[in-house]
Amino acid sequence: MVNIVDGLFDQVLSQLPPLDRAAEDPQPTGSKEPVHDALDRPPLDTADGDLTPIESIAVRDGVLDRMTGGLTLPKPSDEAKDLVGGGIRHRGFEAIAFYKSRRFIADAPYPGKWGIFYLNDALHVVAWQIQQEYPSFRDPRALAREFLRAHEHFHFQADLQTLMLEAVKGQHLYVPARRRFRGRRADFVEEALANRHAYHWAGKGANGIREFAHDFMMLQPGAYSRFLEPGRSLSAEWASIIVDGTGPVAAFRNDIAPWVTAVPADLLRRSLCPEYVIFPKRLSDWIDPACVPPPVLSIEEDDKLIKRLSGKLRHLQKSWEDTKRKLKEDKDRPGLNFKPWPKEGKGAWSVKVDAGNRAHLRNCGEGNWLAYAIGGHAEMGHG
């Protein structure tokens, strides 16, 4: 049965001139990004996996919770944790869940389907991480689904908003904007707005996972980590990209920024945007194994860092020892905010020591690391 959103897309798109798919940019040499119009699709069109409506997953999890009394979730496999951690660091939310527009219903992946798609393995990893941070919560699986949904559903809202603008202007806006950002999706400010939406969801009422959400998002690249910037400014930047057809740097459209999220409430009913869970045959088909963070087996310190910790920064000694222990136990723990630091060359990484300080380490190979700098955020170049 065609719902109101399906009908709206069909009506508006039928009134627009034909979309020139031949205008797509060629595939970059060596890139794993598919040549397609959508920004939020997975890295490989050949990825495979069974598909289940999310309603069935929610019912299953609810039954399990009632049967087990909310027992501790089993730890994910090391492969799943590493792949999800690497995907988040390199591609943001879209590595583990993605929104496919109704515009591309005939395209892969899953021709004939559109909406929000979640990787089951990733849902389990995120749920397990939430349970580690909030062991008293009895519904981490539901929180993981809703957290990812809050981000992806904003893409659905942005799609509808763009459709309304297309109806007014009589031209395609959604696809051209995404073509301009092919290969640099982390520059697309819509991701900052989507993360901002998820961040605010995470702080509402009984959700109560805002600290986890903050750390989870700060791991992500580019615009994903801009979610704390003023919403009006982010909206004005998005409007300039969509309406004026500009690139990443543009004159912001402050005049129409307040209308960016002005989508009629009756179009945002949960039932109108389909949701599915993908059970991958191989998670590595969906998340590039090259993104997996290197192992952390040992951490040495250079003379400069030792001198700082025994002098001016002696108050950080205990926090630093705790950080090293946690890195070796689970480098993918979101609270560590362990991520590449390309400003200081290949193999450089940064880790959170406490609320105001970070340390930088260099990967020496085979699980061995050298910590060479420690200090406050601004001093370390983190703003």
pLDDT surpasses 80 at 178: yes
pLDDT surpasses 70 at 23: no
pLDDT surpasses 80 at 83: yes
The confidence score (pLDDT) of residue 109 equals 87
How much is the average pLDDT of 281-306?
A: 91
Of the pLDDT bands very low, low, confident and very high (cuts 50, 70, 90), residue 20 is confident
How much is the average pLDDT of 146-164?
A: 96
CATH of residue 299: 3.30.2310.20
The confidence score (pLDDT) of residue 57 equals 79
The confidence score (pLDDT) of residue 249 equals 57
Pairing mode, if any, of strands 275-280 and 298-301? unpaired
Q: Which domain covers residue 360, as residue numbers? A: 293-376
Of the pLDDT bands very low, low, confident and very high (cuts 50, 70, 90), residue 45 is low
Site of tokens 């039928």 = 14
**Domain contains 96:** yes
The confidence score (pLDDT) of residue 208 equals 86
> Do 297 and 243 share a structural domain?
no
**Domain contains 24:** no
pLDDT surpasses 80 at 147: yes
- Per-residue model confidence as pLDDT tens digits over 222-279: 899 999 999 999 999 999 999 887 765 556 888 888 888 788 889 999 899 999 999 9
Radius of gyration, CA atoms only, the chain: 22
**Domain contains 200:** yes
Q: How many angstroms separate the CA atoms of 11 and 247, rounded?
A: 28
How much is the average pLDDT of 21-25?
A: 53
**Domain contains 54:** yes
**Domain contains 14:** no
The confidence score (pLDDT) of residue 383 equals 67
The confidence score (pLDDT) of residue 1 equals 52
**Domain contains 335:** yes
Considering 38-52, 66-80, 301-315, the range whose residues carry the highest mean pLDDT is 301-315
pLDDT surpasses 80 at 196: yes
Q: How many angstroms separate the CA atoms of 367 and 225, rounded?
A: 27
The confidence score (pLDDT) of residue 180 equals 83
The confidence score (pLDDT) of residue 28 equals 40
The confidence score (pLDDT) of residue 148 equals 96
Which residue type is seen at 332?
A: D
> Do 270 and 301 share a structural domain?
no
> Do 205 and 270 share a structural domain?
yes
- Per-residue model confidence as pLDDT tens digits over 211-234: 999 999 999 988 999 999 999 999
Q: Supply angle C-alpha 302, 308, 314, rounded to 5.
A: 125
> Do 336 and 211 share a structural domain?
no
How much is the average pLDDT of 293-303?
A: 94
Q: How many angstroms separate the CA atoms of 282 and 79, rounded?
A: 11
Q: How many domains does the chain have?
A: 2
pLDDT surpasses 80 at 201: yes
> Do 339 and 262 share a structural domain?
no
Looking at residue 52, what DSSP letter applies? Answer: E
pLDDT surpasses 60 at 41: no
For residue 154, the tally of other CB atoms under 10 A from its CB is 21
The confidence score (pLDDT) of residue 344 equals 93
CA distances 87 to 91, 92, 137, 156, Å, are: 6, 7, 26, 22
Percentage with pLDDT > 90 across the chain? 57
Q: How many angstroms separate the CA atoms of 156 and 194, rounded?
A: 10
> Do 238 and 209 share a structural domain?
yes
How much is the average pLDDT of 288-298?
A: 89
Secondary structure of residue 43 in the 3-state scheme: coil
> Do 321 and 196 share a structural domain?
no
Q: How far apart are the first and last CA of the chain?
A: 51
> Do 139 and 66 share a structural domain?
yes
Q: How many angstroms separate the CA atoms of 357 and 229, rounded?
A: 21
The confidence score (pLDDT) of residue 250 equals 59
Among 279, 306, 330, where does a domain finish?
A: 279
Burial class of residue 347 (count of CB atoms within 10 Å of its CB; 0-12, 13-18, 19+):
middle
How much is the average pLDDT of 77-102?
A: 92
The confidence score (pLDDT) of residue 29 equals 37
Give the chain's mean pLDDT: 86
> Do 101 and 40 share a structural domain?
yes
pLDDT surpasses 60 at 118: yes
Query: How many residues would you count in the chain?
Result: 383
Site of tokens 């697309």 = 188
